[in-house]
A and B are shown apart, each in its own frame.
Chain A
Amino acid sequence: MEKIEILRIESLSRDPLVVEGYLFKGTNPNAPKIAIVGAMEGESILPLYCASTLVDFFKNKLEKEKLKGDVLIIPSINHYALNISKRFWPLDNTDINMMFPGYELGETTQRIAKKVFDALNGYDYGVILERRPDPATCLPYIKLYKSGYEDLLAAKKFGFKLIHHRTMKSIDTVTLQYNWQLWGTKAFSIMCPSDNQVDKKVASQINQAIIRFMDKSKILNYHIFNGYESTVMDRNTISVVKSAKSGIFISKELPGNYVSKDQVIGEIVHSLEGNVIHQFLAPCNGMVTCFYSNSLIFEHAVAFRIAKIG
């Protein structure tokens, strides 16, 4: 294993920010190469945990001859934000994942993005462990933009239950996934719940999926159990359930649970008087893919997303 310094930025008052990558060289130079990016934001605890436990896997648990292609893992980019529980770059609150492909003469986070992007360039496959942008607990799934460069077949090798094949917005053109694809890497985002606690079961599902993908793509020779035959979803196959009231939100179902039309899936309690003021009924038969993870909910907020079945 080689530890690579990807970038170093000095600070007026803090220790320098030093971003490192862990490079594991494979035994076959012709095998595909993969890079994995962990926490790009602060508060991305699960991406950080997943990426760091993958480092442990390659460093300490995998027999060296089983690794065929090169693997680069960058567990964290924004240590400054993680260390003080901020989400974005602490000084100016900019999102590094809106700065790609980066610019070496630009603003600080553009420079960070540029150095990270240079280190990631040239890999055959790329995995980005992303935190959901909204406060939501979800099943882990693949987010893949309809960019024209995406590889939907390859995305299925992870074996997640769901692939969200998403229409692009203009703002997505500055993300790592899009730019990585534009530069020839087959990139995938694994969406993680936005909780600040490590759920080891979910982390294990994510890491198994990444290892499964690497095995199926001949980067690794390490057979693990098969995953799901992924269902590809888009906006039309997801039902959005919004909150009719504001108050204290209690979900009665978990992501991954199957629900029937008109089943009570959650409730809102009056925050000052304690009575139930709203019950959420499932609008269709389906599977809960995510729910609002904050216990205080705004009126009109998206409370559940349900993948329709039947």
Chain B
Amino acid sequence: MKTSEIFTSNLPVGEKLSVKRTRFEPKSVDNKKMKRISIVSGIHGDELEGQLVIYLLADWLNKNNDKLKGIVDIYPAVNSLGVDTITRGFPLYEVDLNRTFPGSANEFLPGQVVYALANDVKGSDIAIDIHSSNIFLREIPQIRINKEYSKSTLALAKELNCDFIWIHDAVTVLEATFSHTMNSMGTKTLVVEMGVGMRLTKEYGNQLLIGILNLMKKEGIIECEEEFTVRTPFSSEIGDVFYLNAPKSGLFVPALDHCAIIKEGDKIGDIVDPLTGTIYSTLKAPNDGILFTLREYPVVYEGSLIARIFGEKSGKN
């Protein structure tokens, strides 16, 4: 295990900004080309679920170094200043690093940081970028795949012990993300979304750890007797994602648990006004399905996302 700095910049007052990577590799190396996997998190400073997964993985690798046959690189906190200050974007510049790729050495500082990351991860066979939704929404463990790269990444996604694979259309803004940049450079890259911002969900962390170990075993990056049993995810190939946005501003009070199986017409929650004791709106499921996204932060404006439901195609979307 070796920790290095992939990017450093002195800060104005007695401190240094650094983005760190730890590399795990086998003690004895034969001449065969080793596979390499990179696990990235903290591109958004307020998302911490990936830090737990990476900790669990590093702990496993420390205890099972003899099983390692490839290279595992971990980058727990890409936006390290943001992680430490509960800031989603890059502090001072207020930019979303995941809309700044591929960056360049000549750009502003956030552009230099993402450029350094992309160049360091470049050459990996697989990369996994772990996000935790944001502070507003709670997500079940899911993989998001851009349709453009689904041929090469869908099979890998199925190994990751997640509950849902969401294949979404190519949207131009997503070209500025880590995953698009790495996929276009030839590294098969998957995006995991799970849990909620600023928090850790231990069960999800353990679930994804099993998935990553399973994928690494299938890819020959680790060799071990241990069997990693993974769940079969449901996939957006066979259904539709329904969005529920707030019709009114107010305080959202959920009526269901996250990840519930629901029927059309089930009550998802109310939007209320505490000042007058009024219910502004009662939100009901537009379709049968599974509630895979649920609002966590209760203050809503008209339009705020309340829930996403995955269900059978019904022509309502």
Interface of A toward B, CB cutoff 8 Å: 9-12, 87-88, 91-93, 98, 105-111, 133-135, 169-171, 173-174, 240, 242, 245-248, 271-272, 294, 296-302
Contact = CB atoms under 8 A, between A and B. Distances in A.
A11 B9 contact: no
Contacts, number: 100
B10 A108 contact: no
B92 A135 contact: yes
Given A11-B249, A170-B172, A299 B10 contact: yes
Contacts of B112: 300
B280 to A, nearest CB: 9
B245 A298 contact: no
Contacts of A296: 12-13
B176 to A, nearest CB: 5
Contact of A10 (B108, B136, B302): B302
A107 B293 CA distance: 15
B175 interface: yes
Interface string B228-260: 000000000000000101001111000000000
B155 interface: no
Nearest to A17: B301
A272 B14 contact: yes
Contacts of A242: 106
Given A11-B301, A87-B94, A301-B108, A271 B249 contact: no
B42 interface: no
A277 B273 CA distance: 57
A297 B174 CA distance: 30
B176 A12 contact: no
B176 A298 contact: no
B191 to A, nearest CB: 17
Contacts of B10: 245-246, 298-299
Interface in B273-296: 273
B304 A91 contact: yes
B224 interface: no
Contacts of A271: 12-14
A188 to B, nearest CB: 22
Nearest to B246: A108
A298 B301 contact: no
Contacts of A105: 243, 245
22 contacts: A9-B249, A11-B301, A12-B250, A91-B299, A98-B173, A105-B245, A106-B245, A106-B303, A107-B303, A107-B305, A170-B176, A174-B172, A246-B11, A271-B12, A271-B13, A294-B92, A297-B12, A298-B17, A298-B92, A299-B10, A302-B107, A302-B109
B173 A174 contact: yes
A246 B109 contact: no
A248 B302 CA distance: 44
Given A12-B251, A271-B14, A296-B13, A169 B299 contact: no
Contacts of B302: 9-10, 108, 111
A134 B173 contact: no
B88 interface: yes
Given A171-B176, A174-B172, A108 B94 contact: no
Contacts of B248: 10
A89 B13 CA distance: 30
B109 to A, nearest CB: 5
B176 A108 contact: no
A37 B231 CA distance: 51
Nearest to A103: B303
B138 to A, nearest CB: 15
Contacts of B249: 9-12
A111 B302 CA distance: 9
Nearest to B274: A12
A108 B304 contact: yes
Contacts of B176: 169-171
B301 A246 contact: no
Most chain B beta-carbon neighbours within 10 Å: one of A91, A106, A109, A170: A170
Most buried by B among A108, A271, A272, A294: A108
A272 B304 contact: no
B1 interface: no
B311 interface: no
Contacts of B300: 12
Contacts of B243: 105
Interface in B51-109: 88-89, 92-95, 99, 106-109
A299 B15 CA distance: 11
Nearest to A296: B12
A87 to B, nearest CB: 6
B54 to A, nearest CB: 25
B12 A12 contact: no
Contacts of A297: 12
A93 B301 contact: no
B9 A108 contact: no
B105 to A, nearest CB: 9
A13 to B, nearest CB: 8
A141 B176 CA distance: 26
Most buried by A among B11, B175, B301: B301
Nearest to B94: A87
Contacts of B95: 133
